[in-house]
Structure 1
Amino acid sequence: MKDEIFDITIVGAGPVGLYATYYAGLRDMKAKLIDALPQLGGQLTALYPEKFIYDVAGFPKILAKDLAENLISQAMQYEPTVCLSEKIVNLEKIEGGNILKLTSESGSVHLSKSVVLTLGIGAFVPRKLDIPDVQRLEGRGIHYIIKDKSIFKGKNILIVGGGDSAVDWALNLEGIAKNITLIHRRDVFKAHEDSLKKLLNSTVHVKTFYELKRVHGDEHVEGATIFDNRNGEETYLEVEHIILSLGFLANLEFIQGWGLEIDKNAIKVNSKMETNIPGIYAAGDIAGYFGKLKLISTGFGEAAIAVNSAKNYIDPSSKFFPGHSSDFVPKKIKPG
């Protein structure tokens, strides 16, 4: 049986991949969406479904899981082929042709005329602290990923970190937790300015120049010792939960043999989201270029550019810019 060849294959079903899938349908492309996770949504559903997101156009704030649900509904209206729990380990051009061959870890083969890589930061693992008992109490009061905010109701919480994730969780859990302390090893945060204003006007106890020294507890976290890194002064906190928001380590080793040009943990692209291999595009956090801004909203625009570039690549007679979606009625919702 001859393998089915798709117009476009999107690898990575996070927010950018879902929007790329939708846009491929808008351009009447036969699309396939592949992801290594068992569900759609990427980090939105796998890492922080209960966290509010504030920087997506059209939503003053929206829960990550709700944004994922909306994106999935939007992407599925053109009935793309979806393959989950499929980790792509090889991508190459079939000799003598313009067809791209993707091979999964299980040995499944996918053929496509073009490919858009929306892999986020690749295989991600949380940054961890080399502190006694942290690893022992992971899942028993030590958290890197939060899927259910209700477990913090009425509890004392320590949050470690100074980026958007740490600040967002502190604000998200205010009013749910009994008491929240956020510590950061410096007095300069990497969070958005508006979030910092809200944090400093909240009930969260913010302690700068403090770091986590020890975790206490037998079967579950019972407390933490923090210290002032300027003078070594220690403070004991009674807490039931510790959220380590230290970021995630990107791992792009699995794409090293694909022939793509990699720079600083990103795939190099030009203004049309083209990689150094014709027919292969990248969008979202995985795509790198001068002036890159790693936001979901930025990724949406890059996804549209990548799909339009792919459409023009496989069909040179088509326009790169098809016009505005408001200029026509998508075929799926035409009356009659």
Structure 2
Amino acid sequence: MNNIVDLLIIGGGPIGLYANQYALKKELKTRVIEKSAELGGKLKSVYPENPIENLGGVKTWQAGKLIDNMISHTEKYKPDYRLNESVQKIQQKDLVFTVTTDKGKHKSHAVLITTGRGIYLPPSLANLSFEEKEKAGLLTNIKNESALLGKNVVVIGGSHETVGWAIGAANVAGNVLIINWRFIESFASLEGSQAVPPNMDILEPYGLLEVSGDQTVTGIKVYHVETGEEKEVAADVIIMARGYLTNLSDIEKFDVALEKNGIKVDDAMHTSKAGIFAAGDSVYYPGKKRLISTGTNEAARAIESIEKYIQAIWGKNG
């Protein structure tokens, strides 16, 4: 891992994949570090069947197939992907970045962060093991419905699987609320003829922003995906697909300036640290919209800026 690449991309979701393809076309030497076992982020691991409709001039794709196409289009460049590798810290010496992961060290002339939006967990919850998180009320499925008896349950997502979880939880829970980032036409379209329980409701289009609680879950904060409006919701249990839970500390460790739970960037997608750029749902700036089309535009702007940054310091292509 001692060879220096032009650009290290942290995060192998749709924006990281697009940025990598754009950079490779410019003949930059890149490497993508992804903490999961597969590329594609939540589009692949959480809602692969959801339609993606906000890419101008592109027909509607299922999220998972869109990711497959992005990966396929880049194969001719022989991309360098490092999966199951979690970044621990970023350091810089003599204008060279060293990115330390749980598997070793990578060196580069620039860094691009495309990790997606983090969910804030208070330290008392963030530091728990996976099993302890389940006991505290952070679930990735329903193993024991009796544990939900009389509780306020929030289910994140609108896939067939998550709506099924919600209906199952409603059998014993006090109240069940589905929170989904896009509009679901009807429960019937997802669950056939199965009746919607009277103690179940839906909040859309909202995304999960923050989990509150000390040792156990007490509530969440969500944001409207179009207006940015935030609201708080009481909750005893949160059920979500495992890939959805991304702790905000994953971007806090990069030691760049944050604003509104996102990485603060300028028009060139530069962070507060020279040579470190960011794009996609992980960033914040006034007027930010969390759409794939917005993220790909940010990624292209970031790569253009990174190319100029590298050329100014190291000459063409480092």
In structure 2, the CA distance between the partners of 1:178 and 1:243, relative to structure 1 (3 Å rule), is farther
Match of 1:219 in 2: none
- Partner deviation per Cα, 1:249-270 (whole Å, 9 max, x = no partner): 7632244354311112111110
In the alignment, the residues of structure 2 paired with residue 63 and residue 135 of structure 1 have an alpha-carbon distance, to the nearest angstrom, of: 26
Instruction: Give ranges in structure 2 of 5+ residues lacking alignment.
Output: 122-133, 146-152, 171-175, 207-222, 228-232
Where in structure 2 are the equivalents of 1:166-245 lying within 5 Å? 167-168=183-184, 170=185, 174=189, 177-179=192-194, 181=196, 183-184=201-202, 190=224
Q: Which amino acid in 2 is paired with 1:252?
A: L
Q: Distance in 2 between matches of 1:304 and 1:15?
A: 13
Q: How far apart are 1:34 and its partner, in Å?
A: 0.7
Provide the aligned length of Structure 1 versus Structure 2.
Answer: 263
- Provide the rounded CA distance (Å) in 1 between the counterparts of 2:269 and 2:234: 41
Kindly report the root-mean-square deviation, in angstroms, between the aligned alpha carbons of the 2 structures.
4.2
TM-score when scaled to structure 1? 0.65
Superposition map of 1:1-336 within 5 A: 3-94=2-93, 97-106=94-103, 108-122=104-118, 138=142, 144=156, 160-161=177-178, 163-165=180-182, 167-168=183-184, 170=185, 174=189, 177-179=192-194, 181=196, 183-184=201-202, 190=224, 251-316=247-312
Go from structure 1 to structure 2 and tell me whether the alpha carbon gap of 1:48 and 1:257 turns closer, same or farther (over 3 Å shift). Answer: closer
- Relative distance call for 1:266 and 1:133 in structure 2 (3 A) is closer
**CA offset at residue 76 of structure 1?**
2.9
Which structure has the bigger radius of gyration? 1
Q: In the TM superposition, what is the alpha-carbon distance from 1:288 to its structure 2 partner?
A: 1.2
Matched AA of 1:61: T
CA gap of 1:112–1:134, structure 2 versus 1, over 3 A, is closer
Structure 1 unmatched ranges of 5 or more: 194-210, 216-241, 320-336
- Judging changes above 3 Å, is the alpha-carbon distance between structure 1 residues 172 and 57 closer, same or farther for their aligned structure 2 residues? farther
**Structure 1 stretch displaced more, 66-75 or 138-147:** 138-147
* Counterpart amino acid of residue 247 in structure 2: N
CA contact (8 A) 1:49 1:147 kept: no
Task: Give me the TM-score of the superposition, normalised by structure 2.
Answer: 0.68
User: In the alignment, which residue of structure 2 is the partner of 1:200?
Assistant: none
Contact 2:112 2:278 in 1 (8 A): yes
Residue type of the partner of 2:33?
Answer: I
Following the alignment from structure 1 to structure 2, what is the Cα–Cα distance between the partners of residues 53 and 139? 31
> How far apart are the structure 2 equivalents of 1:54 and 1:163?
16
- Residue of structure 1 equivalent to 2:131: none
How far off its partner does 1:150 sit?
12
SS in 2 for 1:32: strand
User: Which amino acid in 2 is paired with 1:90?
Assistant: K
Quick one: percent identity of the two aligned structures? 28
| Contact preservation (8 Å) 1:144, 1:243 | yes
Deviations 1:61-85 (A, max 9, x none): 2211011111111233311211000
CA distance in 1, matches of 2:140, 2:300: 44
Conserved in 1, the CA contact under 8 Å of 2:11 and 2:115?
Answer: yes
